[in-house]
Amino acid sequence: MKKLFLLTGLAITLAFNGLLAKAENPQVLMETNKGSLIIELFPNEAPESVNNFLAYVNSGYYDGTIFHRVIGNFMIQGGGFDADFNRKPTRAPIQNEADNGLQNRIGTIAMARTNDPHSATSQFFINVANNNSLDFREKTPRAWGYAVFGRVTEGMRTVNQIRTVPTTRHQGHQDVPIEPVIIERVRQIK
């Protein structure tokens, strides 16, 4: 009986420590003209992506940028253009961490990139569908995938409101919201 009590106590302690570790993940508050959301970041799984994102957050880079690409049954993408649709200068690209075991599921945030797997800079997207085709399969240009580095923990109502905005073509880009969806402010809160 004493062993059972000790094992139960150990299991509770481990579970509690696991919850504490998860609660210590950095979080950001993203305020948009459509509402706010809180994003939990996963530095253990995607350290370079999280550090990169937080460097942009903490410098105020995302303030006044827009969600410039919205595909209602796929994802919403932002972090690269200001409200006048001018591309913002970025820091150097980072290495792709899509092989970290995290999947592009509804509510996760991932690094956007070009066809070069290691070209991600400031742009990110939030998945509004389970996008298995974006997950890592192998280290080749076509199958590298897109690195998930966090998830929306509060504010999916805001995400869903953004994903339903009407879009058009603008300056050679498709799926651009007709009325700008502005990221007013992003701040680290934990």
pLDDT the model gives residue 10: 45
**CB neighbours (10 Å) of residue 151?**
21
* CA 156 – CA 126 distance, rounded (Å): 10
**What burial class does residue 73 get, using C-beta atoms within 10 Å of its C-beta: 0-12 exposed, 13-18 middle, 19+ buried?**
exposed
Give the per-residue pLDDT at 17: 47
CA distance 116 to 44: 24
What does each of the 190 residues of the chain score in pLDDT, given as a tens digit? 555 444 445 455 444 444 444 559 999 999 999 999 999 999 999 999 999 999 999 999 999 999 999 999 999 999 999 999 999 999 999 999 999 999 999 999 999 999 999 999 999 999 999 999 999 999 998 899 999 999 999 999 999 999 999 999 998 999 999 999 999 999 999 7
pLDDT at site 190: 72
Written as one letter, the residue type at 100 is N
**pLDDT the model gives residue 7:** 46
Task: Please give the backbone phi and psi of residue 16, each rounded to the nearest 5 degrees, phi first.
Answer: -65, -45
CB 65 within 8 A of CB 88: yes
Report field, pTM of the whole predicted structure over 0.85: yes
The answer to whether 150 and 40 have CB atoms below 8 angstroms apart is yes
